[in-house]
Structure 1
């Protein structure tokens, strides 16, 4: 960020609301951040933090007052909180528990899951990626509350001391392995299902999962592709093509599913564009 941009920031920040040109503020902010992004090292940003925060705060206030008329500002706020939350993992999502069991999920997403279970009323929930069993346990308890449903959860690795529950069936193997899919098919046996994909996050594997499982999901139900936030969407930019890229490839070849935009209502989700609802 050069001296001109900093001076422009300070001038704009001093003006009253009527005298401030929102377009000029927006343009100056975009330009200054673009210049700042090209710099590296603490010396490059020394003394600039407060002007940036001041103007960004003004933009954020304007966005709230006008009901989201500055979508780039809103996106920046959400994305930066998302990055903060995600990268403080030892404080946040890796320290999230359901009834004492680790559940490595965003709690906002868990709330969406219970809404989906209420609306769809699945008889079976198929989960690819078990880890500690916390999410399977959460889903089983939601099924307890609703008085219906069971969970089939699949992982290539067994973990000790996973929670035991009458509604949970643990399977060991790959979610794309024919033998594992056949075992799940015997449990499903025509029942109404929801599918959650949270195993290997490579684009290749997730696309294979989508191709394997999508036709088992009835109209009105969901395939939920988790962790579409990696590979810079907006976190973990060095991950490599992952779940988001698999979703894009899948939707390009399949018109039976849409992205359910209503599932973005809490602003931050670990599964952006990953709530795929079957419509045909």
Structure 2
């Protein structure tokens, strides 16, 4: 796969809202964009028609970024392609500037990271094919910004790198820039053979590119958190949900989500259900009876800061524990040894901080194919988001946008009755 074909796949699958390109010379890569675009090159020779509304800036990228970039494209940049000056320190400056101009779910693509001949890596051009020493940028990003997702691909002739999980306000690279530049110029990141470069860059096969891009598109959380349940009657629907009883005990479960859970239970057949947040114990009783009716031998564990006043002891184990510090009850009660697979239902404190703690904890302790359901994101549409600092919706969006590959939104459950027609929008998360 050559680089224009790879870049075309990136545009087609990610469908960026806008596009910025550094190094547009003849316009072949710029012509792939169908979104409002910016091309930057001091020596334009556009030879192909451009499909999208495009603004060209015949100047260096350093000069360009003195502008308010967001004002030029109507908001933060969604997709960037860096193919400018082929010296690592120039590409690093471009990356710093591009990340600052992007949003957290944006993507930056870097060309020329995988040369096929060591002669192509010279810092001055002396061959027809020239990648320069851009491969060094992969090492630098992985070293100084381990929070980023930095994936290289073995695109023909020169390779391609895709960076996601951006943090536009991060100053790590800028703060270290002078030292990094000095190390580049002093040869610290220099490699002498193509074999060494391949080992360090560790490219993925382009055969996996499209699948990876589809997964990235979901992780970028481009899915709206707007609920299918939003209507003038949502408050009435919610009032009914709050009054819902199961066997006479308050359950506080949306009937739509009860139906979704029935399907999830049938398909996952969890050996353990871990409920974080017991409330009045009605939902634990409901899950116990669901499993019994479906002949699923599942242990039911329900964890709450304080034990419910009315306990259903048979078939349910109620434990005290803090959702913000799950390590303690899990170790105290030997829960790490619970039989697999697990289904975890996060329905405790609705704050952003607690939701983030739950995500981080189960990122470490769920196995591939198991589920974490982050409940009650619908509270945002009821006007309660500020009370919980954005609740689970914000936690999920930022967690996925941060580049984590540990969870993916399972849209089969989220959209079972229509797009996010659930109390748990984008909240059915599958461990990858």
TM range (shorter): 0.5 to 0.7
User: Which residue of structure 2 lines up, in the alignment, with residue 198 of structure 1?
Assistant: 347
In the alignment, structure 1 segments of 5+ residues that lack a partner are 1-74
| Alignment: residue pair count | 200
Q: In the alignment, is residue 115 of structure 1 matched against residue 240 of structure 2?
A: no
Query: Whose helix proportion is higher, 1 or 2?
Result: 1
In the alignment, structure 2 segments of 5+ residues that lack a partner are 1-225
Pairing partner for 1:226 from 375, 393, 396: 375
Shift of 1:79: 1.0
Assess if the C-alpha contact under 8 Å between 1:125 and 1:152 holds in 2.
yes
Taking structure 1 as the reference length, what is the TM-score of the superposition? 0.65
User: Which residue of structure 2 lines up, in the alignment, with residue 38 of structure 1?
Assistant: none
User: Match of 1:208, SS?
Assistant: helix
Pairing partner for 2:279 from 126, 131, 140: 131
Pairing partner for 1:257 from 375, 390, 407: 407
Extract structure 1 runs of 4+ deviating beyond 3 A. Answer: 75-78, 84-87, 183-190
Query: Whose strand proportion is higher, 1 or 2?
Result: 2
Q: Over the residues paired in the alignment, what is the CA RMSD in angstroms? A: 2.2
Please give the per-residue CA displacement for 1:191-235, whole angstroms capped at 9, x wherever unaligned: 221111011111111100111123322222210000112233x65
User: Which residue of structure 2 lines up, in the alignment, with residue 275 of structure 1?
Assistant: 428
Instruction: Return the index of the structure with the highest Cα Rg.
Output: 2
Residues 85 and 276 from structure 1, CA distance in 2 versus in 1: closer, same or farther, beyond 3 angstroms?
farther
User: Match of 1:201, SS?
Assistant: coil
Assess if the C-alpha contact under 8 Å between 2:323 and 2:357 holds in 1.
no
Please give the per-residue CA displacement for 1:23-81, whole angstroms capped at 9, x wherever unaligned: xxxxxxxxxxxxxxxxxxxxxxxxxxxxxxxxxxxxxxxxxxxxxxxxxxxx7974115
Whole-Å Cα distance in 2 between the matches of residues 188 and 175 of structure 1? 19
Whole-Å Cα distance in 1 between the matches of residues 260 and 227 of structure 2? 23
Whole-Å Cα distance in 2 between the matches of residues 237 and 249 of structure 1? 15
Please give the per-residue CA displacement for 1:153-183, whole angstroms capped at 9, x wherever unaligned: 0000222122232x21000120232321214
Please give the per-residue CA displacement for 1:107-160, whole angstroms capped at 9, x wherever unaligned: 111111121111111110111000111110011111212241011100002221
Residues 187 and 149 from structure 1, CA distance in 2 versus in 1: closer, same or farther, beyond 3 angstroms?
farther
Pairing partner for 2:331 from 154, 176, 182: 182
Q: Residues 73-222 of structure 1: matches in 2 within 5 Å?
A: 78-80=229-231, 83-87=234-238, 89=239, 92-145=240-293, 146-165=295-314, 167-177=315-325, 178-183=327-332, 185-186=334-335, 188-189=337-338, 191-222=340-371
